[in-house]
Structure 1
Amino acid sequence: MRLLTLYLRSRQVPVALGVAAAAVAVVALLGNAPERPLQTRVFAVLALGLGLGVLGNGLGGAAAALERTAATRWAFWRTAHVVAVALVVFAVAAASSDAPTAIVLRATAGLVGLTALAAAALGHQLAWTLPTAGAGAAAVVPPLTEPAFLRVLAWPMQPSDSTTASVVAAVLAVGGLITYAARGSR
């Protein structure tokens, strides 16, 4: 238990968790409009991007040399951390938003993958960039079906039965998790 406490404190998780949960809940609740389902989905995706942006900073520690030691099974810790972040953000967004749960789940998976990829490629200080940009792009690009690149760009906003959106989210989630678990934060 002591190791877990030290790990969480070193990554400033207790403070970030409270801020992220509050931010996700407020933004998701602001977007709830039963007569406007697209607005509800947009705000749910923006809330997820915001929450993952806040929690993404915790995907790296202050000592880069310590992150590279073989004394700890870092792949396990990194995987557990990303999965825990995804579960927390999903739970808060799903509880706060009227958006369909399938869309919130798909958007969480894809955006957490983008967060992990950003941490691995850019460093944990910039882990907020890709999920925020992905959520922002999805919010401004309408969920059109043609041309095909718009389906890929606006994957979080596509209907819950969209195969393209599900594939994009799965590729981002698996790719981000594997990359971050293997490499860690840059």
Structure 2
Amino acid sequence: MRWAALYARSRQLPAAAAALLAVTLGVWFLGRGSWNLVLVAVTLTAGIAVAAIGLSGQDADLDRAAALPWPPRRFAHLALVAVAAGVLVAGVQELGTAAVDLAIVIRDAVGLAGLAGLAATVAGGQFGWTLPLAWCAISPFVPREDTTAARVTAWLLQPPGTPAATWTAVVLAVAGAVAYTAWGGRR
């Protein structure tokens, strides 16, 4: 199990876990009186953004020389980011009086993790935060129209059971997981 400890250190997982916990508790604390869908999206985005920084290693040559195959570890790392962010948000919202539907938390966590995987594959792990943050920044400003394009663009803020939002999150999650698992973070 020594490889797991080495992998965790090389990918800055202890620091990412601490930052994920701090940002989740911080955003929840600041918005605990008015916890809503927008704050859930912001909390998940911030958590996944800080955790996604470790999606590529420090040394590309060392990564290529590993004795164990990388794809399962890459997939597990990306899945861990989504699960950790989702579980923390689901947990902290239970501390307050208002809670957002768990289906939204799950949908948004997997979709944002997929975006982080895509960003890490295209631009490198240090930029894994860019796509989730960009999409979260745009979503609140999408006009509230009853069109598929508006529901897809603002999928983070759609109510549970919205097919366009669910499918958008699924497509982003699958695309990000496949890309990051197959190719890893850009060097």
TM-score, structure 2 length as denominator?
0.91
- 1:134, CA displacement in angstroms? 1.3
Check 1:51–1:102 CA distance in 2 against 1; reply closer, same or farther (3 A cut).
same
Tell whether the 8 Å contact from 2:48 to 2:116 is kept in structure 1 after alignment.
yes
Spell out, residue by residue over 1:128-156, the C-alpha distance to the aligned partner (whole angstroms, 9 max, x if none).
100111122223335x3423311111001
3-state DSSP class of the match of 1:59?
Answer: coil
SS at structure 1 position matched to 2:38: helix
**1:12-47, CA deviations, whole angstroms, 9 ceiling, x for partnerless residues?**
1101211111101221343344xx6xx611011011
Q: Which residue of 1 aligns with 2:155?
A: 155
Deviation at 1:122, TM superposition (A): 0.6
Cα separation, partners in 2 of 1:10 and 1:156, compared to 1, 3 Å: same
Equivalenced residue count is: 181
Identical amino acids, percent of aligned pairs: 39
CA distance in 2, matches of 1:100, 1:137: 22
Any gaps of 5 or more consecutive residues in structure 1?
Answer: none
Which residues of structure 2 form unaligned runs of 5+? Answer: 94-98
Partner of 1:48: 44
Match of 1:78 in 2: 74
Listed as ranges, the matches of 1:102-181 within 5 Å are 102-141=103-142, 144-181=144-181
Mapped to 2, the partners of 1:112 and 1:119 lie a distance apart of: 10
Q: CA RMSD in A?
A: 1.5
CA offsets per residue over residues 124-181 of structure 1, 9 Å max, x none? 1111100111122223335x34233111110011110100000000000011001000
Q: TM-score, normalised by structure 1?
A: 0.91
